[in-house]
Every structure is written in structure tokens, then in C-alpha cells.
Amino acid sequence: MSKLLLPGRLAVSALAVVSLSACGALSGGGDPGLGDQARSATAQLSSPGGASTGVSGTVRFTEIEGGVYLSYEITGLDPGEHGFHVHEGASCAAADTDGDGTPEAGGAAGGHFDPLGSPHGAPSAEPDARHAGDLGNITADADGLAVGGREDRVLTFDGATGLIGHTMMVHSGRDDLTSQPSGDAGSRVGCGVITLQ
């Protein structure tokens, strides 16, 4: 460590600035501009009603300026990509979604959260070219573990695209990001209601 040759108070001030900067870097640093006012929400995932998939985990949402930062740690998945969406409903119970009289696993979660009336699309698409709940795919490793995080600039904590009270869903297969209305991502294997912390 190099020595700072600074007189008295200036040396103390310089050390304080260095210390505060280091604290910010160690704590994840990224101040989204909301400081201590940033809200957070979580969805505790488990098998959706009507299924026994062995999927479990947590998805955490943190409010940032202009959107949300989401992080996830999910286990029990088949290796590979899995569709990852916010759905419109407030329950993960089984429900008949296609009118055939047979309840589907997690059917009460409804379709993708789409308050803007947009088509299904990639998470990188503009708001008029994706559902608010379109978060693309997550990738599980050979042990069935998916861990990661990213920003989303369409979902919010308030207003039309507010995510609180909706459901977080993981699907059995890959979202192709184009098929309508939901990316042909397969069955629902993990679900949890998003609640404010």
C-alpha cells in the first residue's frame, strides 16, 4: 500500500473518501439513485398447485431508478433453459385454463402479465413489443441450479406495470421469445406470489 503524503486533516479526509468508496464497492455498490428508499419484493418458488416438480427457490426484486433489478436462485430444474415470466394472477393453484374441465398445474396464475396489451417478446424489446412479464429465459446447470440477476426497464413497483401481487413462473422448457401468446415454454414447474418486503 503506498503512503499518502498529505498534511493533517487532508489526509484524514482522503482516507474517509477511500473508505467510503471501498464500502460501496464491497456492498454491491450500484446505487440505483433511490438509496435507502428502494423497495424490495420476493417470490418464494415451489411446485405449482397440481404438480410435484421439486422446483424451489427465491426471486428477489429491488426497485431501481427506471425499473427493477431482479436476482434469482432456483433449484430442482432440468439442465438447460427455462422460460421465466411474471404472470397476471395472484395464485399458483391448479385451475382449468382451457375449458376442458381438467385443472392445469399453476393455472390460477393466468397468462403472462401484460397490462399494456403488447405481444409476447424478448425482455430486451420495447414495451410495445413485449409483455411486461416477459423476462426471457434462465439457465440451469448440470445440477439443476439457476443463479443470476439482471435489470428490467418495463416492470415497476407501482402503476400499470407494477409487479406486486402477481406471480413469478418458471417453465419446463425454453421460451423461444417469438411464439404467441407465450413463447411455447412448456408446462409450469415453479411458481410464487410476488410480495412486498
Please give the positions annotated as active site. 85, 87, 112, 120, 131, 134, 171, 188
Cell of 158: 407501482
In angstroms, rounded to a whole number, what is the distance separating the alpha carbons of residues 63 and 35?
A: 10
In angstroms, rounded to a whole number, what is the distance separating the alpha carbons of residues 114 and 123?
A: 13
What are the φ and ψ backbone dihedral angles of 66, each rounded to 5 degrees? Answer: 85, 15
What are the φ and ψ backbone dihedral angles of 144, each rounded to 5 degrees? Answer: 80, 15
Assess contact for 196 and 43: CB atoms under 8 A.
no
Q: Mind giving me the DSSP string for 16-57?
A: HHHHHHHHHHHTT----S-GGG--EEEEEEBPPTT-----EE
